Amino acid sequence: MDAMQYNGLTLAYIGDCIYELRVRNYVLSLGLTKVNDLHRKSVEFTRGQAQSYVMHYMIDNNMLSELEYDMFKRGRNSSIAKVRKNISRSDYLEGTGFESLIGYLYLSGNISRMDEIIDLAINLIKDRQKED
């Protein structure tokens, strides 16, 4: 099936998986060995607030093509009834949009661009943690 045919939540479903795997590989590269430490560190990169921050950065700096922005909006504008208590609705939806973009790039075979965005995300979040 053509990647354009999937709805935002379906794209986010696979995008979440791909992004999570890349983050887990990055966290392992830090030399952490305790599962709780690995999990805590991974959550810093995969939580909706962090993904929302990355999307704001990319949008503010005009780093997305029109199609990429449309794929982000496809996920962001998804009809989601419930949002977890520990995150704002806007951060949650923007995180879903980020995952939708990653999912679209993966399913469309644009792996180099997907890798570029994931690498940027990891570096932005890592740099933001240094500031805090």
Find the Cα–Cα–Cα–Cα dihedral 89, 132, 35, 27, rounded to 10°: 90
62: left (phi over 0), alpha (psi -120 to 50) or beta: left
State how far the Cα of 90 lies from the Cα of 92, in Å rounded to an integer. 5
- Record the tokens describing residue 120, joined without a space: 């940027």
Which residue numbers are catalytic?
16
Q: How many residues appear in the chain?
A: 132
This prediction's pTM: 0.92
Q: How confident is the model at residue 91 (pLDDT cuts 50, 70, 90)?
A: confident
Domains of the chain by start residue, with CATH: 3-131 (1.10.1520.10)
pLDDT tens for residues 40-80? 999 999 999 999 999 999 999 999 999 999 999 998 888 77
- Record the tokens describing residue 32, joined without a space: 């952490």
Give mean pLDDT, residues 3-15. Answer: 93
